[in-house]
Amino acid sequence: MVFLNLEPLKGYQGEDIEIQLPRSLTMHSIDWLAVWCVQYTHNFGHVNIPDDLDVPPALGQTKLTVSSRANGGGGRSSDRPTTVGPTKKPRRHQSWSPPQPPPPWVFASYPQTNREVLAPVPQYHNHYYHHPTWWYNPTSSTTSDPDGHWDMNNCRDLLPGKLQVHWEVQNEWVQVQLTGKIRENQYMAFGLSGNQNKMTMIGGDVVVVFYNRAKNSFHAEDYYLSANTECDGKNGVCQDERLGGRNDAVLVTGTRRNGVTSVVYRRPVQTNEAINDQQVPLDTAAMVIAAIGPLGSSDQPGAHDDLDMTKEEIKINFNAKDDNTCSYSLFNIDDDMGRSAWPPNIIIGEKEFRAKLGPSGGSRGYMAITGQMTGDIVWYINDKLIPEIFVERKQTYTFIVEGGNDPNNGGHYHPLYITDSSEGGFGQKLDTDQRKQRVFAGIVYDSEGFPFPTTAGRYCEFKFKSYDRSSEMETFDAFFDSLKLSCEDGNAGLLNWTVAEETPDLVYYQSYSQPFVGWKIHVVDPGYKWKDDKDAATRQHGGLPLTCAILITAVAVQRIFTISLL
């Protein structure tokens, strides 16, 4: 472990200060610099960097003239380390105070180089800073690619072939790198088990990291897990900030390439939040949990597949050195996410639909068919994985629903409803978002105006006979043969739906309690000429009427186009 004696900045009066930036920053990537006292959380002054600043391309640095205001006041020397950091440019005519905590860059003195350097540090501690592996050193090379693991020598496979963690304790912080073989619209979660004597998600203190493609940005957010449901503001998978706490996860860097997302973040060993956060034990091994899953609306983590979470107990000694059991890099694993999708299932000419739940089919099933991420279960209609259903206006259809009727068991509670929303999950939405959905069947309102679902029934789920073999199966029928049906006691629920004339041409059957579980219902006018061959109802190719074949071709083209944008 190397420590540097970072001497407090001296007082400056009418002097030029030479700043050498890390290789990850240029003058054009900084809006302004602030002289910030860590001990007293005070801004001693800032210097704006104009957008049209002319920096000679041959120079790796430029000189900034600092006014006397930046000397701590009246030319006196500050006796505290002072930070300089890029952040939002202050608005004119407004007072400004730096964010909390201060930016993770220190304006540090290097006696051996006789130069003061803008460098990242983990935290302020008694005038000494632990020298992390990503510290910018003017005499050595550095990298911004997390594939180098930032020289963290501890590594563990959390989900073999899918998720790895590197870690290192740095004084009062733990630095973590999560690397996952995931899609761009998936997240990775890692943290402490809710019970240190056994592995459990409930009560877990985790950090969720992800990549936002639209913003080309990486994120690390602090979560507390009080239930296996979407956060309602009090319970569920909730950000600490939504529960009145704070986000103690500090993003360091991230990268996305070759189908792999890698994010480096830091969190304190000890926080001041006794309820939502746990202390990271340094004197004993800690039980940890991890998962990967889909990002929902507003980048909220969605329900993950049962196979995408830690199943066996994993203990990590965070204070260990060279605890590395990883024998491969996820960046070097062949990408199997490009496997061909199963053709969509079609149901035509039927009046009765039996709805159960089952596995999503991995990269060949729901995600490939819809272009959307989903959780661990989706609707199976008449033993078909999310089939596209064709119905006629003015006709009545019956859904026999076996989605679970216990609202206290979120994982086994999936009332079916029909909506114009391709996302669904009505019960997990805020009032404003609920009003954006049109509901055609399955939800009614009580006398006080509160919605409640009408049709759920007992819980039935198709489960794996052994393990998920979706990647091995070229057809859905072959995959379906690898499943077995498991049903709880009770009766099915019945939903009778008479299709109104004003019903749109495209609606969806969905789950009330979870988004992205169902798929499309095509609505046609009365008298539509169906082929009188019921085998055509489940055939994916040439046996369909010409009009339906054109519709299906359009759906296939749309699906290919959607996938090409991921």
301, 189 Cβ separation under 8 angstroms: yes
Q: Is the pLDDT of residue 69 over 50?
A: no
417, 512 Cβ separation under 8 angstroms: yes
The residue among 337 and 545 whose pLDDT is bigger is 337
Query: Of 486, 360, 464, 497, nearest to 412 (Cα)?
Result: 486
For range 118-129, the mean pLDDT: 36
Tell me the per-residue pLDDT of 246-286, one tens digit each, with 9 for 90 and over.
899 999 999 988 889 999 999 999 887 777 888 999 999 99
Looking at residue 550, its pLDDT comes to 35
Query: Of 83, 101, 70, 87, nearest to 31 (Cα)?
Result: 87
Looking at residue 472, its pLDDT comes to 81
Tell me the per-residue pLDDT of 73-90, one tens digit each, with 9 for 90 and over.
333 333 434 444 443 333
Tell me the per-residue pLDDT of 191-244, one tens digit each, with 9 for 90 and over.
999 999 888 889 999 999 999 988 889 999 999 998 877 787 888 899 988 888
What is the set of domains in the chain, with CATH numbers? 154-325 (2.60.40.1210), 346-524 (2.60.40)
389, 382 Cβ separation under 8 angstroms: no
522-526: list long-range contacts, CB under 8 Å, 24+ apart. 522/388, 522/389, 522/390, 522/391, 522/551, 523/391, 523/392, 523/393, 523/499, 524/390, 524/391, 524/392, 524/393, 525/392, 525/393, 526/392, 526/393, 526/394, 526/395
Looking at residue 36, its pLDDT comes to 62
Mean pLDDT, all residues of the chain:
75
Provide φ and ψ at 105, rounded to 5°. -135, 140
Q: Is the pLDDT of residue 111 over 60?
A: no
- Confidence band of 483 (pLDDT split at 50, 70, 90): very high
Looking at residue 234, its pLDDT comes to 83
Measured on CA atoms in the order 108, 113, 114, 118, is the torsion positive or negative?
Answer: negative
- Confidence band of 562 (pLDDT split at 50, 70, 90): very low
**Which distant-in-sequence residues (6+ apart) come within 8 Å of 142 by Cβ?**
22, 23, 24, 134, 136
For range 318-334, the mean pLDDT: 83
Q: Given the structure tokens 């040439």, which residue do they identify?
A: 542
- Confidence band of 22 (pLDDT split at 50, 70, 90): low
Cα distance between residue 286 and residue 50, in whole Å: 49
**Which range is least confidently modeled, 62-66, 425-429, 515-519, 526-530?**
62-66
Looking at residue 478, its pLDDT comes to 93
Tell me the per-residue pLDDT of 513-531, one tens digit each, with 9 for 90 and over.
989 999 999 999 988 776 5
Q: Is the pLDDT of residue 3 over 60?
A: no
Residue 170 carries which side chain, given as an amino acid letter?
Q
Write the CA distances from 303 to 64, 164, 226, 395, 425, integer angstroms.
51, 20, 14, 35, 12
Q: Is the pLDDT of residue 157 over 50?
A: yes
